[in-house]
């Protein structure tokens, strides 16, 4: 039967896991995604943590008659960026999780 780690080792492993989780969380702010709508007429740049970095609107949409469509496209582009940010965050956390010596079935929070 394998020897179980002592309490100090468990605490060191927990601290290491916490440090790695914090590094992964910090890294999410450096990963950029771009959401788009309307065939790329509206683009939203965001971090994998979901912070909006910028909005790009095609000049052809800037007439008053297009106001409602532009509002809808901005919302769609933000949602697209959010979906991509969530996906990038999940991928990053999975990478970090697989590098830690965690018990089988243990999941870290996102």
What does the alpha-carbon distance between residue 40 and residue 62 come to, in Å, rounded to a whole number? 15
What does the alpha-carbon distance between residue 56 and residue 42 come to, in Å, rounded to a whole number? 6
- pLDDT tens, residue by residue, 30-72: 999 999 999 999 999 999 888 899 999 999 988 999 889 999 9
- pLDDT tens, residue by residue, 64-96: 998 899 999 999 999 999 999 999 988 888 887
For the entire predicted model, the pTM comes to: 0.64
User: Which one is predicted more confidently, 102 or 67?
Assistant: 67
Phi, psi of 45 (to 5 degrees): -100, 135
**Contact (CB, 8 A) for 49 and 85:** yes
pLDDT at 98 over 90: no
Q: CA of 80: how far to CAs of 16, 38, 100, in Å?
A: 34, 11, 31
Tell me how far the alpha carbon of residue 54 is from its chain's centroid: 16
């Amino acid at each position: 039967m394998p020897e179980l780690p002592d309490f100090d080792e468990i605490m060191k492993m927990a601290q290491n896991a916490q440090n790695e989780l914090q590094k992964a969380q910090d890294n999410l702010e450096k990963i950029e995604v771009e959401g788009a709508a309307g065939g790329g007429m509206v683009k939203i740049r965001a971090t994998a943590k979901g912070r909006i970095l910028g909005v790009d609107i095609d000049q052809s949409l800037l007439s008053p008659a297009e106001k409602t469509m532009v509002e809808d496209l901005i919302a769609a582009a933000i949602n697209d960026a959010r979906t991509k940010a969530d996906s990038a965050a999940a991928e990053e956390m999975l990478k970090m999780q697989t590098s830690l010596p965690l018990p089988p079935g243990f999941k870290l929070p996102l």
